Amino acid sequence: MRFQAPKGVSEYLPPRSWGFEQVKAHLLRQARLAGYQPIELPVFEDTELFARGVGETTDVVTKEMYTFTDRGGRSITLRPEGTAGVMRAVIEYGLDRGQLPVKLFYTGPFFRAERPQAGRYRQFYQAGVEAIGVDDPALDVEVIAIAFAGFRSLGLKRFTLNITSLGDVESRAKHRVELMKFINGLSLDDETRARAEKNPLRLFDDKREKLRDAMSDAPLLFDYLTDTARQNFDEVQSLLTELSIPFEVDKRMVRGLDYYTGTTFEFSHHDLGAQSGIGGGGRYDGLMAELGGQSLSGIGFGLGIDRVMLACEAEGISLGVDESAVDIFLIPITEASRAVSVSLASSLRNLGIVVDLSYGDRGLKGAMKSADKRGARHVLVIGDDEIKEAAGNIKDMKSGESRRVRLDALEISKLLQG
Residues lying near ligand HAM in the complex (CB under 6 A): 81-83, 112, 114, 120-121, 124, 126, 128, 130, 256-257, 277-282, 300-302, 304, 306-307
What CA–CA distance (Å, rounded) separates 181 from 172? 14
Minimum distance from CB of 265 to ligand HAM (Å)? 9
Task: Give Cα separations from 391 to 199, 346, 350 (angstroms).
Answer: 75, 17, 20
The nearer residue to ligand HAM, 299 or 368, going by C-beta atoms, is 299
The nearer residue to ligand HAM, 10 or 341, going by C-beta atoms, is 10
Minimum distance from CB of 114 to ligand HAM (Å)? 5
Reduced to 3 states (helix: H, G, I; strand: E, B; else coil), residue 235 is helix
What CA–CA distance (Å, rounded) separates 82 from 145? 20
The nearer residue to ligand HAM, 101 or 302, going by C-beta atoms, is 302
Q: Are 269 and 254 in contact (CB under 8 A)?
A: no
Minimum distance from CB of 369 to ligand HAM (Å)? 38
Minimum distance from CB of 122 to ligand HAM (Å)? 7
Neighbours of 270 (CB within 10 A): 13
Minimum distance from CB of 201 to ligand HAM (Å)? 15
Minimum distance from CB of 195 to ligand HAM (Å)? 18
What CA–CA distance (Å, rounded) separates 87 from 300? 11
The nearer residue to ligand HAM, 45 or 81, going by C-beta atoms, is 81
Q: Which amino acid is at 306?
A: D
Minimum distance from CB of 32 to ligand HAM (Å)? 17
Task: Give Cα separations from 372 to 127, 260, 377, 394, 398 (angstroms).
Answer: 34, 52, 9, 14, 10
The nearer residue to ligand HAM, 82 or 332, going by C-beta atoms, is 82
The nearer residue to ligand HAM, 143 or 416, going by C-beta atoms, is 143
Minimum distance from CB of 25 to ligand HAM (Å)? 18
Instruction: Classify residue 251 by its DSSP letter.
Output: T
Minimum distance from CB of 161 to ligand HAM (Å)? 12
Minimum distance from CB of 309 to ligand HAM (Å)? 10
Minimum distance from CB of 105 to ligand HAM (Å)? 11
For 47-121, strand residue ranges (E) read: 66-69, 75-78, 102-111
Q: Are strands 66-69 and 75-78 parallel, antiparallel or unpaired?
A: antiparallel
Backbone phi, psi, residue 267, to 5° = -105, 130
Instruction: Classify residue 6 by its DSSP letter.
Output: P
The nearer residue to ligand HAM, 137 or 332, going by C-beta atoms, is 137
Please give the distance of CA 279 from its chain centroid, rounded to a whole number. 8
Reduced to 3 states (helix: H, G, I; strand: E, B; else coil), residue 232 is helix
The nearer residue to ligand HAM, 103 or 395, going by C-beta atoms, is 103
Q: Are 308 and 23 in contact (CB under 8 A)?
A: yes
What CA–CA distance (Å, rounded) separates 137 from 229? 10
Q: How many CA atoms lie within 13 A of 327 on its CB side?
A: 16
- Chain residue at closest Cβ approach to ligand HAM: 304
DSSP per-residue letters across 23-43: HHHHHHHHHHHTT-EE----S
Give the helix/strand (H/E) hosting 302.
Answer: strand 298-304
The nearer residue to ligand HAM, 86 or 183, going by C-beta atoms, is 86
The nearer residue to ligand HAM, 222 or 259, going by C-beta atoms, is 259
Among residues 48, 242, 30, the alpha carbon closest in space to that of 127 is found at: 30
Instruction: Classify residue 266 by its DSSP letter.
Output: E
The nearer residue to ligand HAM, 167 or 279, going by C-beta atoms, is 279
What CA–CA distance (Å, rounded) separates 49 from 61? 11
